[in-house]
Amino acid sequence: MPEGTTIERNDTGYPIYLDYQATTPTDPRVVEAMLPYFTERFGNPHSRNHRYGWEAEDAVEKARAQIASILKADPKEIIFTSGATESNNLAIKGVAYFHRDRKNHVVTVVTEHKCVLDSCRHLEEEGFEVTYLPVKKNGLIDLDELRAAITEKTVMVSVMAVNNEIGVIQPLAEIGRICREKGTYFHTDAAQAVGKIPLDVNAMNIDLLSVSGHKIYGPKGIGALYVRRKPRVRLQPLITGGGQERGLRSGTLPTPLCVGLGEACAIAEREMGEEAARLEQLRARFYDKINARLPEVYLNGDLEQRIPGNLNLSFAYVEGEGLMMGIKGLSVSSGSACTSASLEPSYVLRALGVEEEMAHTSLRIGIGRYTTEAEIDAAVDQIVANVSKLREMSPLWEMVQEGVDLRSIKWAAH
Amino acid sequence: MAYSDKVIDHYENPRNVGALDKNAPDVGTGLVGAPACGDVMKLQIKVGADGLIEDARFKTFGCGSAIASSSLATEWIKGKSLDEAASIRNTQIAQHLSLPPVKIHCSVLAEDAIKAAVADYRAKQGKSREAAE
């Protein structure tokens, strides 16, 4: 682990954090870079007539260049937003609204983040047509299906770079090539991809790309949208006002947050290779130990086309929320229905064809910058102990041990 | 979601986990719920010659509230007559465990499991009586 990247906690007793796809702590080096812009350098970056404003503007522009650099883009192509949710809304609705006279069709994927799916639902209510591509069992889209879905009315294709639940990486370069051939824009929600995998908007023919601050050890409340200039992508702003950010996103820029996002990108760009190798090793350690000690554990999503910091496992015959209650020393998330307000199991896992009963038994393990080997080992011990205990009290496990085929039983849905 | 102390207690120290011989004539077995819904309860009762429930066991696939509801159910029905056991309401279980509204279905399942076990026992008794006649 690079120096200066540990986070000291004064109070002990906190669970081990293994939920890095939900959010990440802000890197102390990022906080350090942000601090002056809360106090002595508090100027409005849009104040053109005095030193306070210039100083803030310089800081914001440096951050913009840092974000552009990790995407291999031009700084002029970066728009600051409040986060990936806003970026996705702006990309999808903004492009669709601008081109609505000529084109009325959007292609996306069933496993997208809710903010993409919901933006598409809104477009449908306004008369647009949306195609939701299915995914294969490994979580990746079928490129032939994508090709077939694009028509001359298709204004954009929106496919996430990395899935937030199962960590799988979509074939961005191939998707970009198809979109370019067909003359439609390619937007990608890269909230979970920036700093985790190399991205190149030109090599991958990406026209719009959403960035989140808090998923990459930056602050919460800031994100960015890359919008291609050559050839120029036109979009209609959703937030209007003083015309900041080339008129695409009005509102005074939050200088400290912009600086934080920039610094987070700079660190990620510098350390990505080393970090990925370290996380991959930790993940392999976790996965191998679990498999050695527990039967009937199933991986959800492709193992190869996956970011190193994610595992999504189904522990058959043990319900996810019940399991989470046992592994008190770990902070993870589950695809079980019981952990969500909707009482529906994860729509992402369902889209992979994971059966509902298996979706209920899933845990998402997110490994990140501050995870240690000792934490991985402690996590394995807790999970193994609790899965074993809960299987002993699972009627399903008992029936399977007795050789009963669970599918032969007529279950009463409730 | 924060669990009540009683739910945590039953989850961490579940009462009467295990299995009785489901083929024994004095044992009734109830299996309710569905894996696809994330909850399955198996509750068993052993009925003495005096008609009282002398032992009860459960196994549950489900969340902490489901495990606690079935654990509590086995505790409550021990020593009761079949009619008394079958008259336990889910609302009593939910109230005792302070279940939040989204977990009420766990208590419903526990009530159903008791009723199913009692019904299974009675069906077995009916059959053996028929066989004896």
Tell me the residue type at B96: H
ipTM comes to 0.93
Tell me how many degrees the CA angle A288-A292-A295 measures, rounded to the nearest 5: 115
Residues in chain B within 8 Å Cβ distance of A356: 35-38
Per the CB < 8 A criterion, the answer to whether B30 and B113 are in contact is yes
Instruction: Summarize pLDDT for A317-365 with one digit per residue, the tens.
Output: 999 999 999 999 999 998 775 555 566 788 999 999 998 888 899 999 9
Q: Is A344 on the interface with B (CB under 8 A)?
A: no
For strand A330-331 and strand A333-334, is the pairing parallel, antiparallel, or unpaired? unpaired
Label residue B127 by pLDDT band (50, 70, 90).
confident
- pLDDT score, position A344: 73
Q: How far apart are alpha carbons B50 and B25 in whole angstroms?
A: 15
Q: Is A394 on the interface with B (CB under 8 A)?
A: yes
pLDDT at B69 over 90: yes
Q: How far apart are alpha carbons B46 and B29 in whole angstroms?
A: 9
- pLDDT score, position A335: 76
Residues in chain A within 8 Å Cβ distance of B31: 395
Per the CB < 8 A criterion, the answer to whether B117 and B70 are in contact is no
Q: Is A32 on the interface with B (CB under 8 A)?
A: no
Instruction: Check residue A159 and report its DSSP letter.
Output: -
* Domains in chain A with CATH codes: 16-23+272-401 (3.90.1150.10), 28-268 (3.40.640.10)
Q: How far apart are alpha carbons A85 and A74 in whole angstroms?
A: 22
- pLDDT score, position A413: 63
Per the CB < 8 A criterion, the answer to whether A82 and A223 are in contact is yes
Q: How far apart are alpha carbons A252 and A233 in whole angstroms?
A: 23
Q: How far apart are alpha carbons A369 and A14 in whole angstroms?
A: 17
Tell me how many degrees the CA angle A264-A268-A272 measures, rounded to the nearest 5: 170
- pLDDT score, position B126: 86
The reply to whether residue B33 touches residue A321, judged by beta carbons under 8 angstroms, is: no
Residues in chain A within 8 Å Cβ distance of B60: 393-395
The phi, psi pair for A226, rounded to 5°, reads -85, 130
Instruction: Summarize pLDDT for B79-120 with one digit per residue, the tens.
Output: 999 999 999 999 999 999 999 998 999 999 999 999 999 999
Question: Coil, strand or helix: which one is A168?
Answer: strand
Nearest to A198 by CA among A270, A303, A262: A270
Nearest to A166 by CA among A25, A329, A332, A363: A363
C-alpha dist (Å) from residue B63 to A212, B86, B127: 33, 24, 36
The domain B5-121 having CATH identifier 2.40.50.100: the answer here is no
For residue B31, the distance in angstroms to the closest alpha carbon of chain A comes to 9
Which element (helix H / strand E) includes A356?
helix A356-359
Per the CB < 8 A criterion, the answer to whether B39 and B66 are in contact is yes
Q: How far apart are alpha carbons A252 and A242 in whole angstroms?
A: 8
For residue A281, the distance in angstroms to the closest alpha carbon of chain B comes to 32
Instruction: Check residue A162 and report its DSSP letter.
Output: B
Which chain B residue shows the shortest CA-CA distance from A389? B12
Nearest to A6 by CA among A371, A370, A373, A374: A370
| Sheet bearing A78-81, strands edge to edge | A78-81, A223-227, A208-212, A185-189, A154-158, A105-109, A129-133
Nearest to A315 by CA among A329, A331, A336, A301: A336
Q: Is the dihedral of CA A402, A408, A410, A411 positive or negative?
A: positive
The reply to whether residue A318 touches residue B40, judged by beta carbons under 8 angstroms, is: no
Choice among B8, B37, B102, B123 that is catalytic: B37
The reply to whether residue B3 touches residue A317, judged by beta carbons under 8 angstroms, is: no
Q: How far apart are alpha carbons A129 and A121 in whole angstroms?
A: 9
| H helix runs in A3-107, sequence order | 28-34, 51-71, 84-98
Greatest C-alpha distance within chain B? 55
Per the CB < 8 A criterion, the answer to whether A248 and A90 are in contact is yes
Residues of chain A with pLDDT under 50: 3
Choice among B47, B56, B106, B109 that is catalytic: B106
Q: Is A411 on the interface with B (CB under 8 A)?
A: yes
Greatest C-alpha distance within chain A? 80
Residues in chain A within 8 Å Cβ distance of B42: 395, 398
DSSP B21-84: -TTSTTEEEEEEEEGGGTEEEEEEEEE-TTSBEEEEEEEEES-HHHHHHHHHHHHHHTT-BHHH
- What pTM does this model have? 0.92
Residues in chain B within 8 Å Cβ distance of A393: 14, 17, 58-60, 67
Tell me the HSE value of B111 on the side-chain side, using a 13 A CA sphere.
Answer: 13
Q: Is A387 on the interface with B (CB under 8 A)?
A: no
The reply to whether residue B64 touches residue A336, judged by beta carbons under 8 angstroms, is: no
Nearest to B35 by CA among A297, A410, A301: A410
B63 belongs to the catalytic site: no
From the list A320, A406, A414, which residue is nearest B37 (CB)?
A: A414
DSSP A62-78: HHHHHHHHHHT--GGGE
From the list A320, A322, A411, which residue is nearest B35 (CB)?
A: A411
Instruction: Summarize pLDDT for B17-35 with one digit per residue, the tens.
Output: 999 999 999 999 999 999 9
Q: Where are the domains of chain B?
A: 5-121
Which chain B residue shows the shortest CA-CA distance from A334? B63
